[in-house]
Amino acid sequence: MTHTEQDQAVTVTLERRSEPRVKSILPVFLKTPNAHPMEACLLDVSPHGARLRVPEPVPVGANVRIEAPDLLLFGSVKWCCVTHGAHEAGITLSLPLEMLGELQKLNATLLKDGQSTLAGK
């Protein structure tokens, strides 16, 4: 296999995802039903998933809530492992990010309409 063929094979392997992921380094809080909230770091996100660096293992299958200013995501832990000496967790989101954006627009419209109604009284 030539060097170019190896590069192409690596590129194909890296591009297996069905959705693009956006890289991030956002501090968040991860909350699970039976544990204290923990500080985490959102490493990347896609419309249906997220990857977090966490200080300790998170049980696979656990329902989670990811919070930060102007961000609230719900999902479940799909995997958790040690990568480069740190715990990472893959989260399957309950609502696709597109839906969250639409809900945010709807909420803003409703709030604006509510304020207009209150101002008119």
**Residue ranges per structural domain of the chain:** 3-95
Spatial separation of the C-alpha atoms in residues 35 and 51, rounded to whole Å: 19
Q: Which residues contact 43 (CB under 8 A, 6 or more apart)?
A: 23, 24, 25, 51, 52, 53, 88
Q: 2-43 pLDDT, tens per residue? A: 444 444 443 333 445 577 888 989 999 999 988 889 999 999
The domain defined by 3-95 carries CATH number 2.40.110.10: no
Q: Which residues contact 1 (CB under 8 A, 6 or more apart)?
A: 9
This prediction has a pTM of: 0.68
Q: 96-111 pLDDT, tens per residue? A: 766 666 666 776 777 7
